[in-house]
Amino acid sequence: MTDVIRLKDITVFGFYGVSPAEREVGQKIQIDLDIHADLSQACRTDSLQDTINYESVYSRVMEVVGGEKRYRLLESLGDEICAAIIASFTVSKVEIRLRKLNLPFPNNLSHVEVYLVREAPVM
């Protein structure tokens, strides 16, 4: 059984993209995270130490997106975020959705979304 802690619509600003204009001007992206873990102990104890502190998860995401590395692809950024969460917390799986909202297309397209799933190594 896996339980899920979900962080929705984390909005960050960065210099993501393939085109020079995207990398120069920067843009907002939105991130959703589904963090799969066994939360049964936390349900019994009502203790923060027995769960995954979502404030710490949020901080870890901010460390990755605010770091020195610039990402051309949402795929690369998403993979890096998943790896950071798996390395920092006891999770079984991380699902991430990254949405680029400001697209250089002339017609109606609200966003582009990349969806990745990463599983923690079995110990």
pLDDT in tens, 2-50: 899 999 999 998 877 787 777 777 788 999 999 999 999 999 999 999 9
Spatial separation of the C-alpha atoms in residues 17 and 6, rounded to whole Å: 26
| Tokens at 27, concatenated | 């843009």
Cα 111–Cα 114–Cα 118 angle in degrees, nearest 5: 155
pTM, whole model, 2 decimals? 0.91
Residues that are catalytic: 100
pLDDT in tens, 45-74: 999 999 999 999 999 999 999 888 888 899
Spatial separation of the C-alpha atoms in residues 30 and 111, rounded to whole Å: 10
Spatial separation of the C-alpha atoms in residues 2 and 121, rounded to whole Å: 15
What the chain holds in terms of domains, given with CATH numbers, is: 3-119 (3.30.1130.10)
